[in-house]
Structure 1
Amino acid sequence: MELQYDRPGHAIGTVNEVTIEGFCLPVPPSNLIFITAPGGFLGCGFFDMRTFARLGMAAVRITGVSTLEELLAGKIAELTESAETLGIKVGMTGYDALLHICSANPHL
């Protein structure tokens, strides 16, 4: 899977025939980084997993990243119970989590 940037800070890609969308927004002194897919979310340290858990969403948090590529390569530090039900685990890479999320929703 390769992200295709259509403008600075915004990329799209496909995983298991599911379209994903990534954002890297400057929030000095850092970046707000996340990737969305139907049925799931990968985000940087800015995001609070309790909010996603209350909404019943599969979501993971990967800390210490500053680009979308680092988000995909980074290790999951925290996740929601909904993400666990998809087979996602702490320590897994963001890309592996995305594979699980997109495999769970192949026709979206």
Structure 2
Amino acid sequence: MIHLSPMDLDGHTFLTVSVKLPKTNLLVVTNDQGYIMCGALDVQLLNDKLKDRNIIAGRAVGVKTIDELLESPLESVTVGAEKLGIHKGMIGKDALLKMI
């Protein structure tokens, strides 16, 4: 099952995406600038193989819901995210607010 829904965060609209997969969930919160995602995100691939795209993204591991993704510290972030002041250990919702 796939669930898409808009989310307001301090007056800014983001899109939440939840995909129920066997034995896991794929979770993303995104806007036009970037996104945060569950552990399925390969930050190293984005930084190495796709670095010319300057992707703004962060990854939180061990999360099972969108709420957990928003409240959990990011385990890793892309170089593009670092340029915006997003860093490892930052809470997901704080990282999203840097993407506006």
- TM-score, normalised with respect to structure 2: 0.86
- Pick one of 50, 53, 56 that aligns with 2:54: 56
- Pick one of 84, 94, 97 that aligns with 1:96: 94
1:106 match: none
Shift of 1:19: 2.4
Q: What is the aligned residue count?
A: 95
Could you tell me whether the CA contact under 8 Å between 1:60 and 1:77 is conserved in 2? yes
- Pick one of 79, 82, 86 that aligns with 1:81: 79
- TM-score, normalised with respect to structure 1: 0.80
Flag structure 2 segments of 5+ consecutive residues without an equivalent: none
Secondary structure at the aligned position of 1:70 is classed as helix
RMSD between superposed Cα atoms in Å: 1.6
Flag structure 1 segments of 5+ consecutive residues without an equivalent: 1-7, 103-108
Q: Percent identity?
A: 32
- State the one-letter code of the partner of 2:13: T
Shift of 1:46: 0.6
2:25 match: 31
- State the one-letter code of the partner of 2:82: E
Q: What are the superposed Cα offsets for residues 47-89 of structure 1, whole Å, 9 maximum, x if unpaired?
A: 1113433131110000000111110001100000110011111
Could you tell me whether the CA contact under 8 Å between 1:52 and 1:58 is conserved in 2? no
Secondary structure at the aligned position of 2:13 is classed as strand
